[in-house]
Amino acid sequence: MKRAYTQLTEKERPEIARTRLLGWSSRAIGRWLPRAPIYRWLRDEPTLIHRRQARRTRPRRERIHDRMLLDQRPAGANNRTEPLHFEGDTLGSPQHHRVRLATATCRTTRYTVLARVPDRSSASWRAALAPYLRALGCRSLTVDNGMEFASHRSLARALGAPVYFADPGCPWQRGTNERHNGLLRWWLPKGTDVGTVSAARLHQIMQALNNRPRKQLGWRTPAEKMAELLAARAAPHGGRPEATPPTALQHPMP
């Protein structure tokens, strides 16, 4: 009958240390000398045990305070009966963190506005797109929980319209914008450095996207639908449209 040892002898300790330095695993040493104290002793000797490097985790995303969620958004925006409600996002590539593309898509007309931004700061996104969305008569903007929308109060003031947030991890709640971001990948595949794409080329991409016939629009284009909408807004006043029609809209590129 084997004797149950509670501690290692002075002769066994250096032998275990030697085999450990030779690369033996704790299990292999245990098969050679099957005693429970081996594991306890190795645990207390950091120079004799190889510990896996702690897995790097992304820094915890700072919480965005005082968000308005989708259940607070008007019913006309939810069921797409009221026009000029937009969805926004920032499109980029993991290999190129600095220069990105800010996008906003109208939920009813599918008209998309693009703007290049130098970083993911709230001020850059607001300066790039807010003036153009306000000129189009934006009634609301729905975004994800990216930190570029942390200063949503300032963005709402610049838009003259409320900003709503989708639930975290629910991109389908902004499906219109996500769909059009996917269409943009036709011209700007993943890995493309937006900073190297000229403003003229980005303008061509926006025009091509907005002049693409859509089944949801009865095979009309987003540019045509937006032009009709802007003309209808100006008609009751008997004057010119409040904003430039999309076919002649100056592209918001730096």
20: left (phi over 0), alpha (psi -120 to 50) or beta: alpha
Residues 87 and 40 in one domain: no
Full residue range of the structural domain in which residue 176 is found: 70-248
Return the CATH number at 101: 3.30.420.10
Task: Read off the pTM.
Answer: 0.70
Does 4 map to a domain?
no
Please give the single-letter amino acid code of residue 168.
Answer: P
Q: What pLDDT, on the 0 to 100 scale, is given for residue 196?
A: 87
60 or 210: whose pLDDT is higher?
210
Residues 37 and 100 in one domain: no
Does 253 map to a domain?
no
Closest CA to 82 of 107, 64, 65: 107
252 or 219: whose pLDDT is higher?
219
Residues 124 and 37 in one domain: no
Q: Give Cα 24 to chain centroid, integer Å.
A: 46
Does 63 map to a domain?
no
Number of domains in the chain: 2
Residues 120 and 155 in one domain: yes
Does 6 map to a domain?
no
Q: pLDDT for 16-26, tens place per residue?
A: 777 666 556 56
Does 55 map to a domain?
no
Q: pLDDT for 193-208, tens place per residue?
A: 888 888 899 999 999 9
